[in-house]
Amino acid sequence: SLKVSVNNYFYYLDRIKKLFTYLNDLRKHILKKYVYTINHKRIAINYLYFSMVTGLSGAALATMIRLELAHPGSPFFKGDSLRYLQVVTAHGLIMVFFVVVPILFGGFANFLIPYHVGSKDVAYPRLNSIGFWIQPCGYILLAKIGFLRPQFWRYYDKTSFSFPFLEKMKYNQYKEYKNDYLFYLDFLKKEITDDHS
């Protein structure tokens, strides 16, 4: 019986090694295919996946808002109107800048514009990949800054407080929006003129 148990031990040890080898190969495949990619179709799929995940978080915030409106003083806010306004602001920013804009500009533009123009890929594929990976970082910053308790971070000026940190953050965000629009215009100009230099 000792011989059988030792054989079973080596059998299961070999199976575990094969499992870890398979998982490591799968990790390398996923990293190469989706994380390190410069293919515009895969980047578009990444944009769509990211928008689905952020859309779920935005839908969760919308559910919290609707429950508060249906039953004021719900367990989410406990009658705290400032927290409610903070969640409304975070919900609006998430749904616009992390759901709608990535789907339209990132997802569909990466799929459709190269096909309409007849080019193989976008003009700057590495810049396209970096442009996608900036989105999750911005989402994490929004989630961290948007739910800070002391600041009650909101954009609606009549209910917002003035903090130097928040004013600087708003200014930087406006600059980021301007850079995004310049990037989108450059992206469209390169694709329409088919300038791949």
User: Between 40-70 and 125-146, two packed helices, what is the crossing angle to 10 degrees?
Assistant: 20
In one-letter notation, the amino acid at residue 134 is I
pLDDT in the model for residue 59: 94
Q: d(Cα 47, Cα 31) in Å, to the nearest integer?
A: 16
Instruction: Report the run of H or E that residue 184 belongs to, with start and end.
Output: helix 164-193
Question: Which tokens sit at 20?
Answer: 């870890």
pLDDT in the model for residue 25: 93
Residue 19 has pLDDT above 70, yes or no: yes
Q: d(Cα 79, Cα 33) in Å, to the nearest integer?
A: 47
Inter-residue contact 43 to 132 (CB < 8 Å): yes
Closest CA to 190 of 131, 130, 119: 119
**How many residues make up the chain in this entry?**
197
Residue 76: helix, strand or coil by DSSP? Answer: coil
pLDDT in the model for residue 122: 67
Higher pLDDT, residue 157 or 66: 66
> Residue 40 — very low, low, confident or very high, per pLDDT cuts 50/70/90?
confident
Question: Which tokens sit at 25?
Answer: 């190969």
Question: Which tokens sit at 87?
Answer: 């969640």
> Residue 73 — very low, low, confident or very high, per pLDDT cuts 50/70/90?
confident
